[in-house]
Amino acid sequence: MEYFVIIIGAIFVNNIVLNQFLGLCPFIGVSSKVETAIGMAGAVTFVMTIATIITYILQNYILIPFGISFMQTITFILVIASLVQLVEIILKKVSPPLYQALGIFLPLMTTNCAILGVAILAVQNDYNLIESVVFGLSSAIGFGLALILFAGLREHLDLVNVPPAMKGVPAAFVAAGLLALAFMGFAGLV
């Protein structure tokens, strides 16, 4: 039951993009086509889940026992940066088609604040290992859901006649606001 609460909470109620404002750069940057949005969502799901596991282990078995939890930010970002590199190398060897599909989105992952944010949030919420994994995975699904929905909206937005100063990003932001408004309907679900 508590896993169910974490899953629904992370995907709908506290959606990582629309409610917590994490990972906005890719949300605005790669959401102009549904296809690229799906690629990005896949890459984020992959890296975010693994990053949450590894940072959990580091936090609880190295940083806390040695009393150096002030090193959290530096450690986590280095872990994520090297993890992204590692995932890139492994994918290239093991599954070239998946590597082709995720390709350009992998390097972008290092500066995606959603990944670092979810790792830190999992620590702050005092989750155990399994809860952290569930939280990481469902946050990533929430990110993917918002990104793909928004890409669908933006494909339509391109065809609409908006005032010239609103064209492009400003109109996209207003649309994102309306999407966030829709997601507010989920508040109180858990």
Partner 1 sequence: MNQWKNFSKGFIKDNPVFVLFLGLCPVLGVTTSAYNGLGMGLATTFVLVMSNLVVSIIKNLIPSKVRIPTFIVIIASFVTMVEMLTEAFVPDLYEQLGLFIPLIVVNCLVLGRSEAFASKNDIFSSVIDGLGMGLGFAFALTVLGGVREVLGSGSLTLLPDIAEFSIYQGDGMLVFVLAPGAFIALGYLIMLANKLKKKMY
Closest by Cα among 140, 135, 80 to 110: 80
Kindly state the number of chain residues that form the binding site for partner 1, as judged by CB under 8 A: 42
Residues 121-140 that bind partner 1 (CB under 8 A): 121, 124
The three-point CA angle 140-144-145 to 5° equals: 115
Looking at 43-51, 53-61, 66-74, 92-100, which segment touches partner 1 (CB under 8 A)? 66-74
Residue 1 beta carbon to partner 1: minimum distance, rounded to whole angstroms: 27
Q: CA-to-CA distance for 127 and 107, rounded, in angstroms?
A: 28
Work out whether 8 is an interface residue with partner 1 (CB under 8 A). no
Residue 69 beta carbon to partner 1: minimum distance, rounded to whole angstroms: 11
**Closer residue to partner 1 in complex, CB, 29/96:** 29
Residue 179 beta carbon to partner 1: minimum distance, rounded to whole angstroms: 8
**Closer residue to partner 1 in complex, CB, 117/152:** 117
Q: CA-to-CA distance for 46 and 51, rounded, in angstroms?
A: 9
Work out whether 160 is an interface residue with partner 1 (CB under 8 A). no
Q: CA-to-CA distance for 180 and 174, rounded, in angstroms?
A: 10
Residues 10-49 that bind partner 1 (CB under 8 A): 18-25, 28
Looking at 42-50, 51-59, 72-80, 98-106, which segment touches partner 1 (CB under 8 A)? 72-80
Q: Which residue has the tokens 């966030």?
A: 180
Buried b (16+ CB within 10 A) or exposed e, 61-87: eebeeeeeeeebeebbbebbeebbeeb
CA 166 and chain centroid, separation: 27
